[in-house]
Structure 1
Amino acid sequence: MDTDSEHRDVTRRGLFRAAAGTSVAIAASSATSIGASADSRNSWHSHSDADTRFTLAVMPDTQYLIDEGGSDPEPVREGLRWVAENRRKQNIAFLAHLGDVSEHGTEREMRIADRAFRGIGHRMPYSVLGGNHDVSGDDQRGDTPYLRTFGPDRFNRMDTYGGSSPDGYNSYHVFEGGGRRWLLLALDWRVSDRGVRWTQGVLNEHPELPTILTTHDLVWAEDDGMAHLSDHGQWLWEGLIRGNDQIFLAIGGHYWPCGRTTLTNDAGNTVHLHLANYQERYYGGAGMIRLYSFDPVRGMIDVATFSPWLREQHAARRSPLEAENVELTTNADRFGVEIDFEGRFAGFAPPTSSPERSASEVVHRDTVAYWRFDRSGFVAGNDGAPVAAGAVARDLSGNGNDLIVERLHGGPPELLTFSSEHHDAAPAHASLRFDGGQDPNRGAVLRAKRDSPINSAGFTRGYTIETFLKLPEPFRGSHAWMGILGWEGRAGDAGKDGGYSTDDAPCGLALSGERFLQHVVYPHNRDDDPTCWSHALPVGQWVHVAVVNDGRHTTVYVDRSKIARNAAARSKGITTLGEPFALGAKQSAGRYGQGFHGSLGDTRITARALRPEEFLSAVSSDSGRER
């Protein structure tokens, strides 16, 4: 920011105070943690965390390092090199410079900047915008050394480059991250009416893309980090940001100290406005890089700021100021932004489910049984309608393992109802809602017929048991130790006298009061029961659970992620007794107690160990998802 022609006699702190006097001050509201609704985050949760995490790199004002009067551009070159070299490791999707590339905007300084950026070649897509030290006036200023260096010709070979305004000073870029596309606007430090109209046209052409706006002059901040719109920021807010719900994050430089705030747009949604600028710090900011690490599964953007150039210095040889500025950790430089991404974007990009898949797409030669609760495998009804006792869920594998609906202990109709809710990656877009409970041992169960092959299957070559489930919110303690699925009978009747109890069922999946999955099995090769325990499952959110046995050990996966507490003991097969397999409850001492409370979707059993990429939740690339 420091001294341009109109502020040449004003001190830096005085300029900051002057800005405070002329800007429209907006009281900051704290970033609100928005809890994910029951289904709003499903499209993110059908991926693993690694599938959805990505990073946006930001480089703020570098003017003091690219100054023909005497400076050192090496920190800028090192910062750019670090981003390019760590693109894959950090999953960096894009790099945005916030303007004031140089101190005077001369031909010589632009040649220095040109060489710095050419050092990363085509390894990293990026944007650059003009700051008040690169140019003067608004974006209708005409030709400048900056425009000849960082105009449209520089970007038109990048896959991410979408185009520039007719004047050449505003541009837009579309990059991919986390399985979706994002729009980034790189706007001049003084956007004219024409520039605003052009930018609105870009937004109109990309109505479903979440958008990050970058510009040089957006907000200023007080010493405590509370940010306020500047005059130019107010112009952009009123003319562009507040009326376009797509814009959820805006980042600027120019002023110091750093800060942030949130405002509410016309759609009633939060917009995050950040200020990043380190030119007043040691060594002109030392080529600071700010990383915005997006983690949609957690609903977070994690922000970190550091100098790659200082980080490369040998730690023992760093001077006190070098050591102090390697990484910045104040709450204006290192922080988290909570965003329910699907909920925030729902107004312009409603979450979409993966397409339904037919049974033939998920049944293969090793499939023992496959049940789904839409009309292809069930006499499905309307949302909330009771499922009739005696209704049949057909085994779509063709192996004759049909399930028959029963209500435990003569329970009422509402114990089991139809639902169109489903995990985003489930083949069938339907489920069953169970309303089980401990008192008076209420529940519903789907039991295999007495002569079903699955009742006697030994699975000595291994097995995979999969289901989609959702726990209700809130999850009450009265639902502790409810059964999800398993085989009927007593382990003691098979000669098993070890483990928890001889009254235990030979195999079952249940849930503890802490919402830990418990998989108990009595295998063929031992008398006791190797048991697996998961972490606490989330409430109000669909998850996919897979129990995989390779003939030696059992591994449980939640959303294709292996849990920690898998049984170490060797385990071969399941000691079934010819008693029915059941979905929606689990027996003890030959009786059903509490039934499941929550929702269950597609369930499949396979007579071999499947890899995570073969699970029901691993949607093929043909339907637009990674495997």
Structure 2
Amino acid sequence: MCTSHEPGQESACADAGRRNFLRATALIGAAATAVTIPAVAEAAPAGRGWRPDTESRRFTLAVMPDTQYLFDGPSINAAPVEASLRYLLEHGRDDNVVFLSHLGDLTENGSRAECEAIGEAFELLDRRGVGYSVLAGNHDVRSSTTDQRGTTPYLDVFGPDRFQGSPTFGGASPGGYNTFHVFKAAGREWLVLALDWRLSDQGYAWAKDVLAQHPTKPVILTTHELVHGDDALSSYGQQLWDRLVKDHDQIFLTLNGHYWPAARAVRENAAGNDVHLHLTNYQNRYFGGAAMIRLYHFDLDRNTIDVETLSPWILGRAAKGLNELERQEMELSGAADRFSVDIDFAERFAGFAPVPERPSRPASKMLVRGTLAYWRFDGHEEGAPVAGTVRDLSGNGNDLTPVTVGEGALTWSTAHHPDQPGHGSVYFRGGKPPLTGAYLRTVDGAPLNSATFKAGYTIEAFYWLPADWTASRNAWAGLVSRTGTGGAAGKTEGDPDEPLATLSISDGPGPQWAVRPLNQQGIATNWGDETARERWWHLAVVNDGSHTTMYVQGCPVARNPHAPAVGLTTVGLPWLLGGYEYGGRIDQILYGRLGDVRIVGRALPVTSFMNH
């Protein structure tokens, strides 16, 4: 706590709905009373040890700020802290909790009895092998001292010896007050730098050395004092920023307590990247903060950290009935307590730990059983014109030739989907009116032209649309289409001028697969959702001999028809890449890039798609 800071408190009204009810019922008995609950030596039940999923791209970092009022001389009350720690043990698997950081001021006076009491509470984590860090706040040690202060009751209880058996403990500074910890999550290692209330010159040197020894690890810096208020750093926090954080791009998030109310700041570091600095402290609230914990839910697929704040101790007593104050405090929903932080993790970490590009895969590896045609467009200079034959790498003779309309252009590109086997694409610059562009066409007599696919099929393509793609000029171009009309095949239900098969881009833009199966007079259509411009997408249409499913990025779309669909009708005419015919004439040309395209004469599982 900062004794010179004028206390302030934000109002918060928690939602006591279904989620809270579920949490509360799961915690009944975890913290039933407001009296001290002695720690009980309990062995970890078989199979219930602390085993976070280190490969999952969703994980949780737990944070516990100032607990000093719960460990204050004769009024020591460990129950709220124990309830929070039990909550993490009980929800560790569901939330994939990987680590806990305490932000200092564990105690009010730093006495031996206070330190030993909270140290005993943390044995709940020790017995399960849970990774966690602690650090000294100004109430745990004499506030006028730095990390060179020598021995204290705090250090006796929470010094390096306590963590020697921890799988996440990395090491400590010579005096023992600064530590670093490494946990694994989302398939990589992350470093927590837990720094003392006041760093000495030696402490700064030690911290810089730790960072230098772990140059590719993203770093979360924890300390007791840094952010003072919204978009404001304390004088010591500014020193910490200037002497350590600013010049070390690895540090992307800092967490501190000490002041209240909760607040956030963002600063741009010397590398030009944002650093998110968060203040979390609730000691001024009901029951000294009731050992509230803040949960940082990392989601690397969504490039987001979702943050929530709650008191498991209060939640655990909800079934017995809470008063108005307790209901307000059991879960906080204010903007400073429940929020999301958007971070493009790959981009943010690129300066010190770039993600290596997935290497190109040989064409031979893509020729799975039943491959009828495989086209890829790598090995060319950016912007070079496409001229001559584009070979079918399956060896089946389904080669492509370019066709130009008006003043259209067709060029090679080195751009590609990150999971694409071939590192190249073709850039189509079509549109209308007037119709212009160029597309690719299978040669006359290609075996694919007459294929009926009675046993099923898988058609895959990678595509990308530019920012200025518009529905009025560019919609309904084909990625992959079969020429010949329904009328020519004697199938006139619906529009007889529509082609027999087309994998097109709708006005969304989104993918559409519209075909005339052998067993239907009409057109069967699979609709995908809108797909963003300036982003690569993998698209697959899979028919198992009776039904067709469209997949985007390996996920099935919602609008897949249930009616049986067997094979594809043909009149023996060519297939097009980047073109779409209507009434037997070219009607639209793609505006965008098309990467690898593969057609297989059977249904493939998702795990065999080209983006795997």
- How high is the TM-score relative to the length of structure 1? 0.85
**Cα 1:124–1:131, aligned 2, differ >3 Å: closer, same or farther?**
same
Residue 179 of structure 2, aligned match among 171, 179, 192: 171
Residue of structure 2 in register with 1:148 after alignment: 156
Residue of structure 1 in register with 2:512 after alignment: 518
Indicate the larger mover: 315-324 or 329-338.
315-324
- Report the Cα distance in structure 1 between the residues aligned to 2:8 and 2:333, rounded to whole angstroms: 26
- Report the Cα distance in structure 2 between the residues aligned to 1:92 and 1:517, rounded to whole angstroms: 38
Structure 1: stretches of 5+ with no match in the other structure: 17-49, 619-627
Residue of structure 1 in register with 2:488 after alignment: 493
How do residues 105-254 of structure 1 correspond to structure 2 at under 5 angstroms?
Answer: 105-120=110-125, 121-122=127-128, 124-136=130-142, 137-221=145-229, 226-254=230-258
Indicate the larger mover: 172-181 or 358-367.
172-181
Counterpart code for 2:168: T
Superposed displacement of residue 354, structure 1: 1.0
1:503 matched to 2:497? The reply is yes
How do residues 389-404 of structure 1 correspond to structure 2 at under 5 angstroms?
Answer: 390-392=388-390, 394-404=391-401
Superposed displacement of residue 315, structure 1: 4.8
Counterpart code for 2:253: L
- Report the Cα distance in structure 2 between the residues aligned to 1:563 and 1:66, rounded to whole angstroms: 55
**Cα 1:76–1:614, aligned 2, differ >3 Å: closer, same or farther?**
farther
1:288 matched to 2:285? The reply is no
How do residues 440-589 of structure 1 correspond to structure 2 at under 5 angstroms?
Answer: 440-477=434-471, 478-499=473-494, 501-589=495-583
Structure 2: stretches of 5+ with no match in the other structure: 10-54
- Report the Cα distance in structure 1 between the residues aligned to 2:372 and 2:287, rounded to whole angstroms: 67
1:302 matched to 2:299? The reply is no
1:387 matched to 2:392? The reply is no
Does the Cα contact within 8 Å between 1:523 and 1:529 map onto a contact in 2? Answer: yes
Superposed displacement of residue 591, structure 1: 1.7
Counterpart code for 1:126: Y
Superposed displacement of residue 435, structure 1: 0.9
Does the Cα contact within 8 Å between 1:84 and 1:123 map onto a contact in 2? Answer: no
- Report the Cα distance in structure 2 between the residues aligned to 1:580 and 1:157, rounded to whole angstroms: 68
CA RMSD, 1 decimal: 2.2
Q: SS state of the match for residue 455, structure 1?
A: helix
**Cα 1:263–1:452, aligned 2, differ >3 Å: closer, same or farther?**
same
Counterpart code for 1:349: A
- Report the Cα distance in structure 1 between the residues aligned to 2:516 and 2:156, rounded to whole angstroms: 74
Superposed displacement of residue 52, structure 1: 3.0
Superposed displacement of residue 318, structure 1: 1.8
- Report the Cα distance in structure 1 between the residues aligned to 2:301 and 2:467, rounded to whole angstroms: 19
Give CA deviations for 1:72-108 in whole Å, capped at 9, x if unaligned.
Answer: 3222122222223323322333222211222233333
Q: SS state of the match for residue 128, structure 2?
A: coil
Superposed displacement of residue 63, structure 1: 1.9
Give CA deviations for 1:10-47 in whole Å, capped at 9, x if unaligned.
Answer: 5x52799xxxxxxxxxxxxxxxxxxxxxxxxxxxxxxx
Give CA deviations for 1:336-359 in whole Å, capped at 9, x if unaligned.
Answer: 222233333333233431121112
Residue of structure 1 in register with 2:93 after alignment: 88
Residue of structure 1 in register with 2:27 after alignment: none
Does the Cα contact within 8 Å between 2:263 and 2:280 map onto a contact in 1? Answer: yes
- Report the Cα distance in structure 2 between the residues aligned to 1:182 and 1:330, rounded to whole angstroms: 29
Counterpart code for 1:406: V
Residue of structure 1 in register with 2:268 after alignment: 264
Superposed displacement of residue 153, structure 1: 2.8
Superposed displacement of residue 68, structure 1: 4.4
1:55 matched to 2:54? The reply is no
- Report the Cα distance in structure 1 between the residues aligned to 2:523 and 2:74, rounded to whole angstroms: 77
Residue 402 of structure 2, aligned match among 405, 422, 439: 405
Give CA deviations for 1:522-547 in whole Å, capped at 9, x if unaligned.
Answer: 21222222212222111111121122
**Cα 1:162–1:521, aligned 2, differ >3 Å: closer, same or farther?**
farther
Give CA deviations for 1:502-525 in whole Å, capped at 9, x if unaligned.
Answer: 211222111122212111122122
- How high is the TM-score relative to the length of structure 2? 0.87
Residue of structure 2 in register with 1:103 after alignment: 108
- Report the Cα distance in structure 1 between the residues aligned to 2:307 and 2:344, rounded to whole angstroms: 16
Superposed displacement of residue 238, structure 1: 0.8
Residue of structure 2 in register with 1:34 after alignment: none
**Cα 1:80–1:14, aligned 2, differ >3 Å: closer, same or farther?**
closer
Superposed displacement of residue 577, structure 1: 2.9
Give CA deviations for 1:382-430 in whole Å, capped at 9, x if unaligned.
Answer: 1111111x232x22223332222222x2434xx2111111111111111
Q: SS state of the match for residue 263, structure 1?
A: strand
Identity across the alignment (%): 49
**Cα 1:498–1:290, aligned 2, differ >3 Å: closer, same or farther?**
farther
Does the Cα contact within 8 Å between 1:87 and 1:124 map onto a contact in 2? Answer: no
Counterpart code for 2:114: E
Residue 601 of structure 1, aligned match among 592, 595, 606: 595
- Report the Cα distance in structure 2 between the residues aligned to 1:606 and 1:85, rounded to whole angstroms: 48
Q: SS state of the match for residue 567, structure 1?
A: coil
Does the Cα contact within 8 Å between 1:172 and 1:183 map onto a contact in 2? Answer: yes
- Report the Cα distance in structure 2 between the residues aligned to 1:554 and 1:123, rounded to whole angstroms: 49
**Cα 1:134–1:586, aligned 2, differ >3 Å: closer, same or farther?**
same
Residue of structure 1 in register with 2:607 after alignment: 613
1:374 matched to 2:373? The reply is no
**Cα 1:310–1:564, aligned 2, differ >3 Å: closer, same or farther?**
farther
- Report the Cα distance in structure 2 between the residues aligned to 1:175 and 1:575, rounded to whole angstroms: 56
Does the Cα contact within 8 Å between 2:483 and 2:575 map onto a contact in 1? Answer: yes
Superposed displacement of residue 51, structure 1: 5.3
Does the Cα contact within 8 Å between 1:356 and 1:428 map onto a contact in 2? Answer: yes
Residue of structure 2 in register with 1:13 after alignment: 6
Superposed displacement of residue 466, structure 1: 1.3
- Report the Cα distance in structure 2 between the residues aligned to 1:115 and 1:530, rounded to whole angstroms: 67
Does the Cα contact within 8 Å between 1:304 and 1:335 map onto a contact in 2? Answer: yes
Residue 338 of structure 2, aligned match among 315, 334, 358: 334
Give CA deviations for 1:274-302 in whole Å, capped at 9, x if unaligned.
Answer: 10011111122122121222234433222
- Report the Cα distance in structure 2 between the residues aligned to 1:156 and 1:584, rounded to whole angstroms: 62
Give CA deviations for 1:354-378 in whole Å, capped at 9, x if unaligned.
Answer: 1211122222213222221123xxx
Give CA deviations for 1:283-329 in whole Å, capped at 9, x if unaligned.
Answer: 22122121222234433222211122222333571221221112111
